[in-house]
Amino acid sequence: MNKVREIINTGDINRFRFWFQLAAFILLIYGGCLAINIGNQLPTFACVFEEMRGGSCYLMGFQHQTNIPFDKILTGRGIGLLTGLITFFLFFILFNKAWCGYACPLGTLQDWLTSFRKRIHLRYSIYAEQTFQRLQSIKYILLALLILIPLGMNNAIFGLPKLNHDFAVPFCMICPGRTLLPIFTGDFSQLTIDFSSKTKMIFTSLGMMVTGIFLVGSLVKKRFFCLFCPMSAFHYIFSKAALLRLSKKGDKCTKCGNCYRVCDVGIRGIADDITSKNIVKDDCMMCFKCVAACPEEKCLTVHFLGLPIYESTEKGFFKRMLKGKK
Amino acid sequence: MSADGMQRKQNTIRLHLGMEVKEFFRKITEASPDRPKAMEYFDNFLRRIYCDDAAPASTRPLIGTMCVQVPDELIYAAGAVPYRLCNGSSTYDLCGAEFMPAKSCPVVRATTGMLHAAQINLKEQLAAVIIPTTCDQKKKAGELIASMGYKVHFLEMPSTCATELSRNYWQDSVQEFTLELQKITGQKITPARLKKAIQKIGAAGRAFRQLYNLRQGPLPILSGVDAFLVSNGYFLDDIDNWTAAVEALNNELIERQKKGTTVGNKNAPRFLFTGSPPIFPNFKIPMLVEEAGGVIVTDEACSSTRLLYDAVAYDEEALYDMLPAIADRYLKPCTCPCLTPNENRKRKLLEMIDSFSVDGVIYQAYSGCHPYEMEQMAINDMLAEKKVPMLYVETDFSKEDMGQLTTRVEAFIESIQSRKRRKKI
Q: Ramachandran region of residue B238, left (φ > 0), alpha (ψ -120 to 50) or beta?
A: beta
Identify which of B291, B280, B330, B364 has the alpha carbon closest to the alpha carbon of residue B90.
B280
pLDDT range class, residue B33, cuts 50, 70, 90: confident
Q: What is the pLDDT of residues B332-391, one digit of tens each?
A: 999 999 999 999 999 999 999 999 999 999 999 999 999 999 999 999 999 999 999 999
Contact B310 A252 (CB under 8 A): no
From the list B196, B315, B348, which residue is nearest A262 (CB)?
B315
Whether B163 shows a pLDDT value over 90: the answer reads yes
Contact B209 A118 (CB under 8 A): no
pLDDT range class, residue B57, cuts 50, 70, 90: low
Question: How many contacts, defined by CB atoms under 8 Å, are there between A and B?
Answer: 86
CA distance B355 to chain A (A): 10
CB atoms < 10 A from the CB of A188, how many?
Answer: 10
Pairing verdict, β B295-300 and B152-155 = unpaired
10-residue mean pLDDT profile of chain A (326 residues): values are 91 96 97 93 95 95 92 90 96 97 97 97 93 94 95 87 91 96 96 94 96 97 97 96 96 96 95 95 96 97 96 97 88
Alpha-carbon gap, residue A167 to B277, rounded angstroms: 69
Contacts of B382 in chain A (CB under 8 A): none
Contacts of B161 in chain A (CB under 8 A): 255
Contacts of A290 in chain B (CB under 8 A): none
Identify which of A29, A61, A37, A34 has the alpha carbon closest to the alpha carbon of residue A183.
A29
Alpha-carbon gap, residue A293 to B107, rounded angstroms: 35
From the list A251, A258, A321, which residue is nearest B202 (CB)?
A321
Contact A258 B311 (CB under 8 A): yes
Please give the C-alpha separations between residue B150 and each of B69, B74, B145, B418, in angstroms, as whole numbers.
20, 20, 6, 53
pLDDT range class, residue B254, cuts 50, 70, 90: very high
Contact A289 B315 (CB under 8 A): yes
CA distance A287 to chain B (A): 13
Contact A317 B347 (CB under 8 A): no
Alpha-carbon gap, residue A50 to A46, rounded angstroms: 8
DSSP annotation of B261 reads -
Contacts of A252 in chain B (CB under 8 A): 351
CA distance B329 to chain A (A): 6
Burial of A162 (0-12, 13-18, 19+ CB in 10 A): middle
Contacts of B164 in chain A (CB under 8 A): 128-129, 268
Q: What is the pLDDT of residues B171-205, one digit of tens each?
A: 999 999 999 999 999 999 999 999 999 999 999 99
Whether B10 shows a pLDDT value over 90: the answer reads no
From the list A123, A129, A255, which residue is nearest B344 (CB)?
A255
From the list B206, B314, B328, which residue is nearest A318 (CB)?
B206
CB of B178 closer than 8 Å to CB of B323? yes
Contacts of B321 in chain A (CB under 8 A): 124, 261
Residues 6+ apart with CB under 8 A from B384: B390
Which of B168, B174, B206, B350 to mutate to test binding with chain A, by most A CBs within 10 Å of its CB? B206
Whether B121 shows a pLDDT value over 90: the answer reads no
Which of B167, B168, B243, B332 to mutate to test binding with chain A, by most A CBs within 10 Å of its CB? B332
Region B251-269 average pLDDT = 93
Whether B119 shows a pLDDT value over 70: the answer reads no
Q: Which residue of A has its CA nearest to B196?
A: A325
Contact B333 A257 (CB under 8 A): yes
Residues 6+ apart with CB under 8 A from B403: none
Q: Cα(first)–Cα(last) distance of chain A, in Å?
A: 31
Contacts of B314 in chain A (CB under 8 A): 261-262
Q: What is the pLDDT of residues B279-332, one digit of tens each?
A: 999 999 999 999 999 999 999 999 999 999 999 999 999 999 999 999 999 999
Contacts of B209 in chain A (CB under 8 A): 314, 318
Q: What is the pLDDT of residues A21-80, one digit of tens each?
A: 999 999 999 999 999 999 999 999 999 999 999 999 999 999 999 999 998 889 889 999
Contact B202 A254 (CB under 8 A): no
**Average pLDDT for chain B:** 94
Residues 6+ apart with CB under 8 A from A231: A43, A44, A45, A57, A59, A100, A104
Please give the C-alpha separations between residue B45 and each of B52, B129, B250, B398, in angstroms, as whole numbers.
10, 23, 18, 24
Q: Which residue of A has its CA nearest to B197?
A: A325
pLDDT range class, residue B1, cuts 50, 70, 90: low
Q: What is the pLDDT of residues A247-263, one digit of tens each?
A: 999 999 999 999 999 99
CB of B367 closer than 8 Å to CB of B396? yes
SS3 for B236-255, per residue?
Answer: HCCHHHHHHHHHHHHHHHHH
More confident: A299 or B54: A299
Contacts of A316 in chain B (CB under 8 A): none
pLDDT range class, residue B422, cuts 50, 70, 90: confident
Identify which of B399, B41, B336 has the alpha carbon closest to the alpha carbon of residue B161.
B336
Alpha-carbon gap, residue B221 to B304, rounded angstroms: 17
pLDDT at B120: 65
Alpha-carbon gap, residue A151 to A78, rounded angstroms: 13
Contacts of B197 in chain A (CB under 8 A): none
Contact A262 B314 (CB under 8 A): yes
Identify which of B258, B227, B220, B259 has the alpha carbon closest to the alpha carbon of residue B39.
B227
ipTM reported for the complex surpasses 0.85: yes
**Average pLDDT for chain A:** 95
Contacts of B328 in chain A (CB under 8 A): 256-258, 260-261
Spell out which chain A residues touch chain B, with contact meaning CB-CB distance below 8 angstroms. 118, 121, 123-124, 128-129, 251-252, 254-258, 260-262, 268, 271-272, 274, 289, 293, 295, 314, 317-318, 321-322, 324-325
Identify which of B165, B348, B358 has the alpha carbon closest to the alpha carbon of residue A274.
B348
Contact A322 B199 (CB under 8 A): yes
Q: Cα(first)–Cα(last) distance of chain B, in Å?
A: 67
Spell out which chain B residues touch chain A, with contact meaning CB-CB distance below 8 angstroms. 161-162, 164, 167, 196, 198-199, 202-203, 205-206, 209, 213, 309-316, 318, 320-321, 324-325, 328-329, 332-333, 344, 347-348, 350-351, 354
pLDDT range class, residue B50, cuts 50, 70, 90: confident
